[in-house]
């Protein structure tokens, strides 16, 4: 914390020293004051450009890196505008009260910023959205040029720029709109770590720029202040951005679990892409009277791009929802499957037994339950080792599954070396036939038993039916009793539980 404070103090001192140096050198430059002022005013956005490029390089690929890249593009536009302004004023090629190409660059600096504000909050923006954004930027540049110079680009006519007073109003409106939109995105993502810091720096810069630009334009237009103060104002927001961005360490942010965004964030994120479309529609209406066909075409393109963008986002949302549903189904399937044998696990067995018992009670149909235990499995494990025992379980599970006659029947690993089978709508004779088929399938697998037990692996089976009105637990207890008798009577046999189920006070 102390190191961070020292770093902040250092950069704030550097920024203050820059402004003091600009103020002093401009004051003592005499007739070269304008040249010195332009050098400082050009250096400030270049420093901000370097700071934005650094943040983009340090950020992880995604929306934040794209945002810093667009921020850097805006600084480049403004630097070009300042360079053109310097050439315009110092060379005397254009009257100081006329609109020039530098004003077009100043105006277009807002296009990348508005694009950064209206971008979708996605870690990996799609290529199609990037192309649609490029179309919007080109259309904005075309309309802005036409609005400022009253003639379409590449037209064989002389330009007729709008008055400087009207352009000042346009600048002020643009700056306030950008600052408000950035603040809206900050409200939605103020707690989102790196993305929240980006929108915070963007909002601070835009509000500072709106204030300084508004004051500069007003003082210059009405000649209310000396050249030193007016030349100092343009550097302030860019120095502030350079100082704040220089202290940003995007790569040091610890990974945090992602949670569902609050409703306000979703609302603002879904609404923000319309910012750029609204700007295009506004520019289209500005040139509508003098360039009807251009305005009509631009309005159509703006609405079409917005529709394509919305359709693309909706398609991505549906694909994400489908992928999420598929992943959920796969996870649910894995949670009901035994990892070793591939048959159903105990959780799946309990759920299925409950459901089939209720169905049998409702429809009045029999329900058979088998519990299968591998004979002398401990001796097999002790002799050949657990890997062999696991392979044995896999083979027996496959054999038991192959013995089931219907898709509605279920075989599950009940625990350890025990398996269970649920046979819906199956009577005593059918259940005995399935149990016999299971023993034959195990015998056909010819799994070698431990030498101390000789021969091949066999299984004992206990069988029970839902006679009367037993609960699922009673049915399971009955099958377990039958299995116990099968072990007592010599193993490798099938026993049926004939014990009458205790009467229940309520038939569920």
Residue 133 lies in a domain: yes
Q: Partners of 462 in the beta sheet?
A: 371, 495
Residue 255 lies in a domain: no
- Residue 133: is its pLDDT beyond 50? yes
169-201 pLDDT, tens digit each: 888 888 898 899 899 889 888 877 888 889 999
The pLDDT assigned to 418 comes to: 92
Residue 269 lies in a domain: yes
How far apart CA 205 and CA 239 sit, in angstroms, is 10
Residue 238 lies in a domain: yes
Query: Where a domain ends, among 328, 358, 385?
Result: 328
- Residue 97: is its pLDDT beyond 60? no
Query: Encoding tokens for residue 352?
Result: 């299925």
- Residue 256: is its pLDDT beyond 60? no
Q: Are residues 407 and 463 in the same domain?
A: yes
The pLDDT assigned to 452 comes to: 76
Would you place residue 258 in the very low, low, confident or very high pLDDT band (cuts 50, 70, 90)? low
Q: What is the mean pLDDT of residues 304-327?
A: 82
- Residue 257: is its pLDDT beyond 80? no
The pLDDT assigned to 471 comes to: 83
The pLDDT assigned to 224 comes to: 67
For the chain, the average pLDDT equals 82
- Residue 503: is its pLDDT beyond 50? no
Backbone φ and ψ for 256, nearest 5 degrees, come out as -125, 150
The pLDDT assigned to 107 comes to: 81
375: exposed, middle or buried (C-beta count within 10 Å: 0-12, 13-18, 19+)?
A: buried
Question: How many domains does the structure of the chain reveal?
Answer: 2
Query: Where a domain ends, among 293, 328, 363?
Result: 328
Q: Are residues 206 and 128 in the same domain?
A: yes
Q: Are residues 13 and 136 in the same domain?
A: yes
436-457 pLDDT, tens digit each: 999 999 999 988 888 877 788 9
Q: Are residues 207 and 241 in the same domain?
A: yes
Domain range for residue 315?
A: 2-250+263-328
Cβ atoms < 10 Å from Cβ of 218? 13
Would you place residue 255 in the very low, low, confident or very high pLDDT band (cuts 50, 70, 90)? very low
DSSP for residue 191: T
Q: Which residue has the higher pLDDT, 92 or 250?
A: 92
- Looking only at the bridges linking them, the beta strands covering 459-465 and 494-496 are parallel
Cβ atoms < 10 Å from Cβ of 291? 20
Would you place residue 281 in the very low, low, confident or very high pLDDT band (cuts 50, 70, 90)? confident
Q: What is the mean pLDDT of residues 312-336?
A: 82
What is the dihedral sign for C-alpha 362, 368, 374, 376?
A: positive
Q: Are residues 324 and 354 in the same domain?
A: no
Alpha carbon distances (Å) from 355 to 120, 276, 369, 455: 46, 55, 13, 39
How far apart CA 273 and CA 181 sit, in angstroms, is 11
The pLDDT assigned to 285 comes to: 86
- Residue 98: is its pLDDT beyond 60? no
- Residue 260: is its pLDDT beyond 70? no
463-492 pLDDT, tens digit each: 999 875 568 898 999 999 999 999 998 889
Would you place residue 320 in the very low, low, confident or very high pLDDT band (cuts 50, 70, 90)? confident
The pLDDT assigned to 505 comes to: 36
Q: Are residues 164 and 199 in the same domain?
A: yes
The pLDDT assigned to 252 comes to: 47
Would you place residue 501 in the very low, low, confident or very high pLDDT band (cuts 50, 70, 90)? very low
What is the dihedral sign for C-alpha 173, 174, 175, 176?
A: positive
- Residue 434: is its pLDDT beyond 90? yes
Would you place residue 154 in the very low, low, confident or very high pLDDT band (cuts 50, 70, 90)? low
Would you place residue 123 in the very low, low, confident or very high pLDDT band (cuts 50, 70, 90)? low
Residue 127 lies in a domain: yes
Q: Are residues 191 and 313 in the same domain?
A: yes
- Residue 422: is its pLDDT beyond 90? yes
Q: Are residues 186 and 157 in the same domain?
A: yes
Residue 335 lies in a domain: no
* 411 three-class SS: strand
Which of 55, 432, 489 shows the shortest CA–CA distance to 253?
Answer: 55
The pLDDT assigned to 120 comes to: 65
Which residues neighbour 135 within 8 Å (Cβ) at sequence distance 6 or greater? Answer: 301, 305
Q: Are residues 95 and 6 in the same domain?
A: yes
Q: Considering the chain, what percentage of its residues have pLDDT values greater than 90?
A: 26
The pLDDT assigned to 412 comes to: 93
The pLDDT assigned to 183 comes to: 92
Q: What is the mean pLDDT of residues 270-295?
A: 82
- Residue 7: is its pLDDT beyond 80? no
In CATH, what number is assigned to the domain containing residue 393?
Answer: 3.30.70.270
Q: Are residues 38 and 169 in the same domain?
A: yes
How far apart CA 22 and CA 36 sit, in angstroms, is 8
291-305 pLDDT, tens digit each: 888 888 888 888 888
For the whole model, what pTM was predicted? Answer: 0.64
Which residues neighbour 412 within 8 Å (Cβ) at sequence distance 6 or greater? Answer: 338, 343, 344, 345, 346, 348, 349, 352, 419, 420, 421, 422
In CATH, what number is assigned to the domain containing residue 37?
Answer: 1.20.1070
Residue 333 lies in a domain: no
Query: Where a domain ends, among 328, 354, 378?
Result: 328
Q: Using H for helix, E for strand and C for coil, what is the string for 111-149?
A: HHHHHHHHCCCCCCCCHHHHHHHHHHHHHHHHHHHHHHH
Q: What is the mean pLDDT of residues 75-96?
A: 79
Residue 505 lies in a domain: no
Q: Are residues 396 and 438 in the same domain?
A: yes
Q: Are residues 203 and 94 in the same domain?
A: yes
């Amino acid at each position: 914390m102390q190191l961070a404070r020292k770093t902040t103090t250092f950069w704030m001192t550097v920024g203050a020293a820059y402004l003091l140096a600009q103020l002093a050198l401009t004051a003592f430059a005499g007739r070269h004051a304008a040249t010195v002022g332009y050098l400082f005013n050009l250096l400030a956005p270049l420093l901000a450009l370097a700071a934005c490029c650094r943040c983009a390089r340090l950020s992880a690929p995604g929306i934040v890196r794209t945002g810093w890249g667009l921020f850097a593009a805006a600084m480049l536009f403004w630097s070009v505008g300042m360079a053109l302004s310097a050439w315009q004023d110092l060379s005397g090629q254009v009257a100081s009260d006329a609109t020039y190409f530098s004003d077009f660059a100043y105006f277009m600096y807002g296009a990348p910023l508005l694009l950064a504000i209206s971008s979708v909050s996605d870690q990996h923006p799609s290529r199609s959205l990037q192309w649609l954004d490029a179309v919007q930027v080109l259309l904005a540049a075309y309309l802005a040029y036409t609005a400022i110079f009253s003639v379409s680009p590449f037209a064989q006519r002389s330009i007729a720029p709008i008055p400087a007073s009207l352009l000042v109003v346009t600048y002020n409106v643009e700056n306030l709109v950008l600052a408000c939109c950035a603040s809206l995105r900050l409200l939605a993502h103020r707690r989102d770590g790196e993305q929240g810091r980006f929108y915070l720096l963007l909002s601070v810069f835009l509000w500072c720029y709106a204030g300084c630009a508004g004051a500069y334009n007003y003082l210059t237009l009405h000649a209310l202040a000396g050249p030193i103060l007016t030349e100092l104002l343009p550097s302030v927001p860019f120095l502030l951005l350079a100082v704040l961005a220089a202290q940003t360490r995007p790569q040091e942010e610890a990974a945090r679990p992602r949670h569902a965004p609050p409703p306000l964030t979703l609302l603002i994120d879904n609404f923000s892409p319309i910012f750029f479309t609204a700007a295009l529609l506004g520019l289209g209406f500005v040139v509508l009277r003098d360039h009807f066909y251009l305005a009509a075409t631009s309005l159509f393109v703006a609405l079409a791009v917005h529709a394509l963008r919305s359709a693309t986002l909706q398609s991505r949302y549906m694909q994400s929802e489908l992928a999420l549903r598929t992943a959920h189904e796969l996870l649910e399937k894995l949670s009901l499957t035994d990892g070793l044998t591939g048959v159903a696990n105990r959780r799946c067995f309990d759920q299925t037994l409950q459901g089939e018992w209720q169905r049998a009670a409702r429809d009045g149909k029999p329900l058979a339950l088998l519990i299968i235990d591998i004979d002398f499995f401990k001796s097999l494990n002790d002799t050949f080792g657990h890997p062999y025992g696991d392979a044995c379980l896999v083979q027996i599970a496959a054999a038991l599954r192959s013995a089931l006659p219907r898709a509605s029947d279920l075989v599950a690993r009940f625990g350890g070396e025990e398996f269970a089978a649920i046979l819906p709508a199956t009577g005593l004779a059918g259940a005995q036939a399935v149990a016999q088929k299971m023993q034959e399938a195990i015998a056909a697998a010819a799994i070698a038993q431990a030498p101390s037990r000789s021969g091949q692996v066999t299984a004992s089976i206990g069988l029970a039916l839902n006679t009367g009105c037993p609960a699922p637990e009673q049915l399971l207890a009955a099958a377990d009793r039958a299995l116990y008798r099968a072990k007592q009577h010599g193993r490798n046999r099938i026993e049926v539980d004939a014990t009458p189920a205790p009467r229940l006070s309520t038939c569920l």
